[in-house]
Structure 1
């Protein structure tokens, strides 16, 4: 597995991973209709292409170093080799770098891909900024555990309307310097994150 910059041609694969991850991670507390409508809106290919071209970092994790290469055992044929992605930008309104999206294909959870993506995005910003924050559904216990394992601390709470219902959210933050030390390559023996996501901002 390795991490690279997203390209415009990755948009469809990213949307496919997002849809599968949303259903797997949020299906117990969001309706299928709400999930599909949100993914259709937030992950429309043209919208993703604009995000990929904008300031910040939009990274994808590839199952193998080169197409057809042997290696980590993660099968990503359906997504052109992509098994996860992360979208990060500096947000002056909050004064730190914000993790807007981090998702990994459900069949590749707990392979260290989410942790590797965190480390990669942190290294893009650590020289100029101090902290990385994100927002995660309070119902997303596995996602919260992922952030806790990687050094995030809760600094606030809020409530948001989503799918016609109100949901509590947790605001979590970590030091970029600490995250920058996370591995770029996956090693399941080390015990790693599953990459289940925050709710996007």
Structure 2
């Protein structure tokens, strides 16, 4: 889908340039903000917004609403705020913070940090990427890891506790660390 077609689904649309820019969504309107180049700062408002940093080291904050935040390239900081948000870091060493609500986390290449916050969160873990993720506040009573069901077998999936943190390996590749977690049960995993 082209950017102009995507914009037609929102009440307000803004597209940045190659410069570093700061822009906020409009209160009371669903907004699509696309940063393009530069180290951008994008802020949502009180509706279900979609905010994309694109190139550069971007700071993207959803605030209220069920937002979709995407960093794309660069070392990005994404903060969902209130609501049930979806956070996608993509390339770079990204920091993703869910805030309140049931949030969904996914990232690609890079050494990344996830903090779920309050709510039942889902963290996607895979080995298709160059890098790993540190999950700072995984709560086994409410949060879930989403892992490709190709790794369900013992030889492909391995965990080990190191210095009080649970390390996860898929196909012998270190992909995730759950800080402060010492045990992982099948109930904590969504095999997808």
Same fold (TM over 0.5): no
**Higher RCO structure (Cα 8 Å, ≥6 apart):** 1
Range into which the TM-score falls when normalised by the shorter chain:
under 0.3
Q: Please state which structure has a larger fraction of its residues in helix.
A: 1
Structure possessing the higher radius of gyration over alpha carbons: 2
